[in-house]
Amino acid sequence: MTKAVEAEGLRKQYGELVAVEELTLSLDAGEILGVLGPNGAGKTTAIRVLTTILGPDRGTFSVAGVPHTRPAEIRRRIGVLPESAGYPDRQTGDEYLRFHARLYGHSRASAREVASALLDEVRLAERGRSLVGGYSRGMRQRLGIARALVNEPQVIFLDEPTLGLDPAGQREVLLLVRRMARERGATVLLSTHLLDEVEEVCTRVLILNRGRIAGEGTVAEVARRAAAPRSAILRVTPERASEAARVLAAAPGIEHVESTNGLPGSLTATLVRSDGNEALRALAEAGVPVLAFELEGARLSDAFLAMTEPD
Amino acid sequence: MIAEQELRDLWIGGRALLLSLAFSLLLSVLAYLVATNTALNYLEQRESVNLTLQVAIAIGALLALLVGADTISGERERGTLETLLLTPVPRTGITTGKLLGALSLWIAAFVISIPYVWFLGRGIGIVGVSLAAGLLVGTLLAVFLASLGVLVSALSASNRVSLSVSLFLLLALYAPTQFPTRAQQGWAGELLLRINPIAAGEHYVGKLVIDAHSWSRDASWLVSPIIAAAAFAVAAVVAARWVRLRGAASG
């Protein structure tokens, strides 16, 4: 089956600065890939290369089965919402979408229909005849997403679509992204800073750091691979709780021990590069019976911080 | 499509209408002074027509230059260039469309100048030849300057840089027309006038309108305007291949 996006060893350099290095990725149809990374990690450059705005210095890629040597054909099959996209203030939302539909070869009548359907889809139908200059940031982003859909794209690239939006606006855009992938069967490559939403919306994540891939896989895989559990919650008999706390505090791989919300016999141990086995072993050696043991799993945000922390 | 949108932005958006209105006001004042004010109408009728035509050509071409200089750098500054580059429209198609939009300002300026030229030149049989010469030379200079503006705009990091550089180049091109008469004489002076498209074009119009020369007699003065218009139009379209999100100056 043809991959929706396939890249092999991409490199892009601006003068001395290497923005993207050895970028290799593969995306199936219908997947939503969250691209994460700190500022300057190379997310926007990677998207600009894959959308043919910038040529790669090295490596190859194909989008929707079209090799990068045919950029015009790739552009026909993709929809893009660039980071900080500008909008013509003196056009109405409807005019803006009709213009872009015409650029993709729609007739006047067809462009009108496409614009109307898309305005409806992004819930801007009532403001379609208003000037874009009067739109809020959230409305502009939704209009930008509608514009990215005028050509029924197979692959959609969204670069920071939730930037500058309030929580409600962010939620609305992310729901729209999920709906696009589900109902249109489009592959989505989404660059964002919102880790919680990525966990919720994306089928896979790719973490970039200084232009290189720091982690890739499903959210659970990346989190598991990159970051150990953060803490262990243990329950012992209340009368042996203080002894258990002493033993744990002296055990390797444990940074801090405290009572869990004041519950008798319940202790929370903060782990440092430990999977919790050291805690269990120390308690067993001290002869303290453990009634319950639970690891609090690592989250994507832990993986993100672990993979992108400065040297 | 790009040209259509450009025309819509310029004319329905109001910018071109405002510039055209200012142009017609200027032309009205000029025509009024040379035609009715007894203290100022020292010009012979043919010279009045020539002066009006020269002003129409100069300002029409200036407007085309200003609009051309705003095309690519303006899109870049407004954040709309990337969206445009992402469409399947070839980059040469984008610059060609924008060039045509910029030229519409010259066409409007010429149309506005027609009644003024007719009014000032009526009765001496020079209206037809004056308008034809104005259209020919004005179009060549407008193509040259609009293309120059688009070219500078494509390579500039910001709109301000693009407009400043374009205006500076225009002033430099007009400078030889303001040289003292002595400096315009001799082989060096004539060469300077001939290689400057603006000076050569204006000289040719003057010969047709004031001196009533035939079209062919001074046709050699059209060489530099023709070469400049063709070369810069091609350069502006070809330069589209190198249109980048950021201008040359910003890397």
pLDDT surpassing 50 at residue A216: yes
Contacts of A90 in chain B (CB under 8 A): 9, 13
User: What type of residue sits at position A79?
Assistant: G
The predicted pLDDT at position A225 comes to: 65
The predicted pLDDT at position B232 comes to: 94
Q: Which helix (H) or strand (E) holds A225?
A: helix A219-226
CB A163 within 8 A of CB A170: no
Confidence of residue A309 (pLDDT cuts 50, 70, 90): low
Mark yes or no for CB contact A72/B90 under 8 Å. yes
Chain center to CA of A223: 13
Average pLDDT of span A145-173: 88
The chain-wide mean pLDDT, for chain A, equals 87
Please, what's the b/e burial string for B139-161 (b: 16 or more CB within 10 A of its CB; e: otherwise)? bbbbbbbbbbbbbbbbbbbbbeb
Structure tokens at A163: 């930037």
* B245 reaches A (C-beta below 8 A): yes
Which parts of chain B have pLDDT scores under 70? 37-43, 246-251
- Among all residues of chain A, which has the CA nearest to that of B5? A99
For A:70-89, CB contacts with B below 8 A are 72, 75-76, 78, 80, 82, 84-88
Which of A70, A75, A103 best probes binding to B when mutated, by most B CB atoms within 10 angstroms? A103
Strands (E) in chain A, as ranges, are 5-14, 17-27, 32-36, 58-63, 66-67, 78-81, 155-159, 187-191, 204-209, 212-217, 231-235, 254-259, 266-271, 292-296
> B108 CB contacts (<8 Å, ≥6 apart)?
B16, B20, B60
pTM: 0.78
The predicted pLDDT at position B251 comes to: 30
- Among all residues of chain A, which has the CA nearest to that of B13? A90
Task: Tell which residue, B233, B227, B245, has the closest CA to residue B64.
Answer: B233
Q: Which helix (H) or strand (E) holds B228?
A: helix B223-239
Q: Which residue from B82, B89, B251 is facing A82, i.e. has the nearest CB? A: B82
Chain center to CA of B51: 16
Average pLDDT of span A260-286: 82
For A:3-32, CB contacts with B below 8 A are 14-15
Mark yes or no for CB contact B88/A103 under 8 Å. yes
For A43-80, write each residue's pLDDT tens digit. Answer: 999 999 999 999 999 999 999 999 999 999 999 999 99
User: For residue A212, how many C-alpha atoms fall within 13 Å in the half-sphere facing its CB?
Assistant: 3
Residue B81 distance to chain A (closest CA, Å): 8
Residue B231 distance to chain A (closest CA, Å): 27
Average pLDDT of span A281-306: 79
- Angle of the B159-174 helix axis to the B197-209 helix axis, nearest 10: 50
- Give the lowest-confidence range in A161-175, A287-301, B122-136: A287-301
B10 DSSP 8-state letter: I
CB B85 within 8 A of CB B243: yes
Residue B146 distance to chain A (closest CA, Å): 22
Structure tokens at A94: 């409807």
How far apart are the C-alpha atoms of A31 and A205, rounded to whole Å? 10
**CA angle at residue A179 from A185 to A36, to 5 degrees?**
90
For A223-270, write each residue's pLDDT tens digit. Answer: 666 665 677 888 899 889 889 989 988 888 888 888 887 788 888 888
Alpha-helical (H) ranges within B37-182 are: 45-78, 81-85, 91-121, 127-155, 159-174
For B:143-172, CB contacts with A below 8 A are none
ipTM over 0.85? The verdict is no
Tokens 């502006």 belong to residue: B236
How far apart are the C-alpha atoms of B154 and B168, rounded to whole Å? 17
